């Protein structure tokens, strides 16, 4: 009989869900390097939780580069919709298998004004991804993966099933633990500070010595800026994840040089073409 793990592996093979991972709910109490208040533990959202299932889809870099734009806005909405749908279908599948499960919310806030006042959701998908060995925190709240840098949207399902009941092979569980340790030891962030330098409102502290959680993004200011952009109908910024040099997607799209994002200096034919294309997309479909 096919297990839940087999189901996710098939989805990965077909590229329906390219990223997934598992963590034990008990990991939240153990980890001190990237602490989070116990209110945000999975068992405080669904007390029966034994396993946390994380799914993720990469953000497509050339669309992100047009930010702020209606293109990136629609892309964000589409990624969220796919993840919401997958969370519901996978939870429903598990419930039918007699494993009590529930999806969390992808975003988890009703409108930006709520985030400005209280800049957090009831559950952190990034901490779930960290415990699942999918990556590690970089500067502040940026969560980095090897393949896509910070350009991944995550979502989480909470279940009363154990990893063994879900069919997660023991060797995969061990590999994940090793991966997580490696990420913790070596990190992925190269402290280039591009995220801070390019942030349009300087919401990210630029002291390279101070990593998460010692310094965090000023989330209220960030949310206020996103709200401002949202009123024009554009995407909600994302510059910090656009400019981060980490991720192999930069090779695929030939975007290794992040100097291309300083749009005030046109110093090559390629940059001229890129900036022209971004400005073209930005000029349509939103309020001035």
Residues near ligand SF4 (CB under 6 A): 138-139, 142, 189-195, 199-201, 203-204, 217, 222, 225, 237-240, 243-246
Residue carrying the six token digits 């533990």: 41
At closest approach, how far in Å is the CB of 66 from ligand SF4? Answer: 14
Residue placing its CB nearer to ligand SF4 in the complex, 83 or 142: 142
| Residue 250 C-beta: closest distance to ligand SF4, Å | 11
Number of H helices, E strands in the chain: 12, 6
Query: Cβ 50 to ligand SF4, closest distance in Å?
Result: 32
Query: Distance (Å, rounded) from C-alpha 272 to C-alpha 189?
Result: 29
Pick 105 or 193: Cβ nearer ligand SF4: 193
Q: Closest CB to ligand SF4 among 97 and 220?
A: 220
CB of 171 to ligand SF4, least distance (A): 31
CB 61 within 8 A of CB 151: yes
Nearer to ligand SF4, 98 or 209 (CB): 209
Cβ burial 202-213 (10 Å sphere, 16+ → b, else e): ebbbeeeeebbe
Angle between helices 70-96 and 4-13 (to 10 degrees): 150
Please state, in angstroms and as integers, the Cα–Cα distance from residue 149 to each residue in 61, 135, 138, 190, 243, following that order.
11, 9, 10, 11, 10
46 or 212: whose CB is closer to ligand SF4?
Answer: 212
Q: How far is the CB of 168 from ligand SF4 (least distance, A)?
A: 30
């Amino acid at each position: 009989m096919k297990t839940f793990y087999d189901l996710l592996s098939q989805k990965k093979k077909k590229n329906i869900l390219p990223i997934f991972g598992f963590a034990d709910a008990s990991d939240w109490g153990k980890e001190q390097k990237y602490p989070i208040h116990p209110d945000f533990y999975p068992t405080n959202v669904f007390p029966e939780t034994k396993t946390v299932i994380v799914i993720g889809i990469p953000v497509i870099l050339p669309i992100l580069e047009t930010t702020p734009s209606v293109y990136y806005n629609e892309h964000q909405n589409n990624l969220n919709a796919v993840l919401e749908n997958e969370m519901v279908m996978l939870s429903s599948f598990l419930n039918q298998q007699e494993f009590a499960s529930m999806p969390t919310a992808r975003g988890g806030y009703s409108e930006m004004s709520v985030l400005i006042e209280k800049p957090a959701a009831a559950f952190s998908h990034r901490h779930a991804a960290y415990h699942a060995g999918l990556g590690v925190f970089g500067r502040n709240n940026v969560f980095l993966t090897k393949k896509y840098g910070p350009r991944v949207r995550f979502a989480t399902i909470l279940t009363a099933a154990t990893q063994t009941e879900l069919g997660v092979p023991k060797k995969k569980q061990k590999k994940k633990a090793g991966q997580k340790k490696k990420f913790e030891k070596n990190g992925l962030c190269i402290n280039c500070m591009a995220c801070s330098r390019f942030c349009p409102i300087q919401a990210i502290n630029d002291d390279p010595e101070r990593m998460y959680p010692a310094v965090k993004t000023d989330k209220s200011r960030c949310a206020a800026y996103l709200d401002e952009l949202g009123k024009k109908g554009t995407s909600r910024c994302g510059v910090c994840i656009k400019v981060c040099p980490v991720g192999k997607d930069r090779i695929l799209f030939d975007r290794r040089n992040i100097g291309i994002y300083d749009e005030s200096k046109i110093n090559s034919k390629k940059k001229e073409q890129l900036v022209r294309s971004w400005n073209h997309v930005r000029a349509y479909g939103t309020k001035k």
